[in-house]
Every structure is written in C-alpha cells, then in structure tokens.
Structure 1
Amino acid sequence: MVDRVWQFFAFNPQHLRLLATAAILGLVFAAEALWPRRAALRGRRWPINFALLIAAGLMLSLIPVAAVGVASWAHAHGLGLFNVLHVPAWLETAVAIIVLDASMYWQHRSMHGPAWLWRLHRVHHSDVEFDATTALRFHPLEMLATSVWKWATVLLLGASPLAVVLFEAITGMYSLFIHSNLHVPAAIDRVWRRVFVTPDLHRIHHSVDFDEGNRNFGTIFSCWDRWFASHCAQPRDGHDDMQIGLPEFRAARDQSLTALLLQPLRTAEPPPAAGERP
C-alpha cells in the first residue's frame, strides 16, 4: 500500500501539489472559522467558486502540457538560462522561485491592462466577499492564459522540474492564505508584510474602489508592489467597512456559474493603469 502511494506521487508530482493544497485549504477554512477578519458571506459563493475551479481543471486537463513538463523538456534540450549557467542546485531553485514570483506579479498586473484580459480576470474580482474560496475563483480562459505565461517563463529561465513543482506548491498554498478571511494580529502583519504578502494587503486588491483594487498584485513577496509603484498599505474605509467586488457585477443574477462563464463577453471598461494611490 505504501509503495502504491509513493508511486502515485513519484510519477506525477502534480498529485502531491493537489494533496498539499487540499490540506492547506482545510486548515485555512478552520482558521477562518476560529479567527475571522470580517463577517464572511458564504451562501451560494462557495459552490460557485468550487464549480469554477472544477471547470478550469477540466479544461486544462484537455491540454497535455504542464509547467513541470515544460521544465523537463527544456532541461532535456539544454534550453533556458539555468541550463546554460551551471550553478548549485539550491541556488538555482531559490532564484527560480523568486524570478517566477516576479513574473507572476507582471502577469497579474497585465490582467488589469488591456480590456480583453481584464474581462477574463474580472471574474475573480467580481466575488462580493473575500475568503479562501476566492483563490479558487478564476475563469477557465484566464487559467489557460496564466499557464501559457508561466510556461514561457519556465522555458526562458530553464527552471528545474523541482523548482517548478516547489513554486507551484508554494504559490497554490500561499494564495489560499492571502485570500483568507483570517485575522492576523497587527504586530505580526506589520513584520510579515515587510517581505511577504499578507491577507490584509491582498484584501485591498479586491476593494470595490478601482484606485485600491488596482494595487497589491504580488502573491508571495511584497517587494514587487513597492518597487513598481503599485503598493497600497491600508484601505481608506478600513478592513471592516471596505466593500469587496466590482460595482457592475453585484446583483445575484451576475453571480451564477453561467453568468460568470459568460461574463468575459459582456462589455465593461478596464480599470485604470496601476500607479501610486492618490
């Protein structure tokens, strides 16, 4: 039995990532219930957010490509920076994770740019509340666009399969944390956010006010937003009173699975360009 479990994960590292993400999701749910930051609204949100995750997973399962596969292919053909520069494995892995996180910062920021990309990403932002299930709420086509961006980064970087698996596992689990409705004591948050994104920082990114919602794009490291002028430290209305979501998609009819899958076809203005908060 143990051998079968080991073979299950050894032949497909993505299974290990999914198991770790599911375990962390359960822990985050429990923590949110014990130490909530805001009065959360569940209702139909949870089934809808999980349904979007399943829809995205089914679509991506039809594509026989994964980031770890791209890394393996690049390594076999000697492509990418790290396949030319021979550096210690530990250094390569650490740098790859940092660079991949920086790349995903720019990918996220680009989703707030051209209208056709924003139409995909606004499905994520149209959630009217903010908890761990919000981290699962992405349009399948956005998941595809994100994957293509990640594949290109992995190929150019020549990141090792191990680095890619670690990055995807860390990102998947940390995304659940930063989207959580978890109360992090102010003293801990103040120190933690100097290096890493915290739930309070990322919650601002989901503010109904565009000048706040167009800030704080980082996932793991908080430095990218400070360095590239997209940082907002606190919401003007405070975390208890700030509204979450998009003003044009707050009605119940806009929150059904069908409406969310078709939402990219609906016309809406893109958010303003990212920059310093007025």
Structure 2
Amino acid sequence: MQNEALLRMGSFIAILMVMMVWEACLPNRVSPVAKTKRWLSNFFLVFCGALVARLIVPTGLAVVALYADRHQIGLLNLVTLPQWLIVLIAMVLLDCLIYWQHRVFHRVPILWRLHRVHHADPHLDASSGLRFHPLEIALSLLIKALAIVVLGVPAEAILLFEILLNASSIFNHSNVKLPDWLEWPLRKLIVTQAMHRIHHSQVVTETDSNFGFSLSVWDKLFGTYTHQAAAGDDDLILGLKEYNSEKTNTGILTVLLMPFRHTPKN
C-alpha cells in the first residue's frame, strides 16, 4: 500500500478535471453566485479537510485495515471466502454505512449544523462534492476507522472504496445533465446528478431523501428514494432557504464558522 496516497490523489485529480471540463462545455445550470467566490470557499474546505484527515490518521485508513488484518480482527476475517469477494462485500457494506451516516447527520441537530455547510451551497458543481466542514470530515474518518476494525475490511477494499466515494461525490454533484436514455437505466445502479440534485432541494421532504452517494439501492431499500422533485429537475431550487444570500453561504470564515453561528432567519 506504499502508493496509496498517489493512487488516491491521481484518481481524485483525474475525475475532478474530467467533470470540470464537462461542466464548462455543457453546463446544466447557471450559478446564482459568482464562481470565484464559491470555488474559493469550497476548495478551501477541501484543503482544511485534507489537513484534518492527515492529523487524525497520518498514515491513512489503509493502515487501520492492515492492522485489523494482521491481528485477524473483524467479521470478514472470520470467514473463508475468495479475496475478491471479501473486497466486494466490504465495499458494499461501507457504502451502506455511508448512506446511514448521511441520514444520521440530517437527523441529529448538532451533526446537521456541520452537514448544512454542504447543503448551504446555492449551486451544484464538481466542487460541491468536496464542500464538507473539516469537523464532519473528522467524524466521518473516525466512523470509517471503527467500521474497518469491526468488519475487518481489507486494505485493498478501503483504498478502492475511498477512490470510488470521492469519484461518486464529484460525479453526482456535477453541473451536468445526462440524457434520459442514459439517466434512467444508470440510476438503477448508481446515484446520478438528477437523482442527487433532489437531495439538495430547498423542499425539506426532498432534502430528506436520496441520501446515497454511490449505489442507488439503499434509498430504494430503506424507503428514502424520491424519483423526481415536485418542481421537476429544471425548476428545482437548490440550497437552504436560510442561506439564500451570497453573504451567508460563501466566504472562508463564513463556511468555517457556519456550524457555530445562529441560523439566519428567512
């Protein structure tokens, strides 16, 4: 796993560049906020999140997985299955975990204060998939580390899953629109842009649906799937009503301090 950091960084940059070029050539929507202001806020959070991750798990989650494997800790270390199947099962279980983590961050008020930094973005593009408060990143890392130990996730699985999770988040937040002939069949397997835009609707019942990041099956299985927004995809209003001005949803200090400030009145 010596090249883990290079693999993750290389795949991250590649998918980000692909989606940003796609957005530039075929944008789906026009941002209500200046691109430079949004990008400054969003990419600053990426930097802070990466710094926090390095401080919490300096050597990466793969090392936690190697520790669990070396000491034969976790459920998957108790079964005899082909390695490829264990890796696949682990990745599916981790994706399910992220789905439930996402739901919990919407339900628990103190966690929602952190997660609303992501939802306060009034526009969606590739940078939105990276807009998470550093404290949310820290909690997510600790949850994944615990899951790795409990499940006995192989190092290969966590590496592939982290690459897939980042790629999925960038992909499904991107400001593009798939043609219907591709959108609807693809949505049966993975979370598409149109499906995830519903989750960023200002309508609360729509915000509290479509929690999946990679696989679309979890929302359908656990009853949180919304097929289409009431206003339709083209007229869907994104963001949070409480943060409907540029002053309240962009700016480095604004996004960093958002969880600790009173919610603005509509």
Match of 2:142 among 109, 131, 148: 148
Aligned position for 1:4 = none
Tell me if 1:132 matches 2:123. Answer: no
Aligned position for 2:260 = 265
Structure 1 vs Structure 2: percent identity of aligned residues?
38
Tell me if 1:11 matches 2:2. Answer: yes
Aligned position for 2:237 = 243
- Note the C-alpha offset of 1:71: 0.5
Q: Distance in 2 between matches of 1:60 and 1:197?
A: 25
State TM-score, norm by structure 2.
0.94
1:130 aligned counterpart, secondary structure: coil
Tell me if 1:189 matches 2:180. Answer: no
Q: Distance in 2 between matches of 1:231 and 1:97?
A: 21
8 Å CA contact 1:40, 1:181 repeated in 2:
no
Map 1:11-160 to 2 at 5 A.
Answer: 11-41=2-32, 42-63=35-56, 64=58, 66-160=60-154
- Note the C-alpha offset of 1:17: 0.7
Match of 1:220 among 214, 220, 236: 214
Aligned position for 2:168 = 174
Larger deviation, residues 10-19 vs 237-246? 10-19
> 1:50-80: CA deviations, max 9, x gaps?
0111011112222235321110110111100
Q: Distance in 2 between matches of 1:69 and 1:208?
A: 40
Q: Distance in 1 between matches of 2:153 and 2:159?
A: 10
**Using a 3 Å threshold, how does the CA distance of structure 1 residues 202 and 224 change in structure 2: closer, same or farther?**
same
For structure 2, list consecutive stretches of 5 or more residues without a partner in the other structure: none
2:22 aligned counterpart, secondary structure: helix
> 1:67-119: CA deviations, max 9, x gaps?
21110110111100111112101100111111110010001111001110000
Aligned residues: 260
Q: Distance in 1 between matches of 2:60 and 2:148?
A: 11
Q: Distance in 1 between matches of 2:168 and 2:110?
A: 27
For structure 1, list consecutive stretches of 5 or more residues without a partner in the other structure: 1-9, 270-278
Match of 1:161 among 155, 159, 163: 155
8 Å CA contact 1:40, 1:131 repeated in 2:
no
Runs of 4+ in 1 over 3 A off after TM superposition: none
Larger deviation, residues 260-269 vs 101-110? 260-269
Q: Distance in 2 between matches of 1:59 and 1:223?
A: 31
- Note the C-alpha offset of 1:35: 2.1
- Note the C-alpha offset of 1:229: 1.1
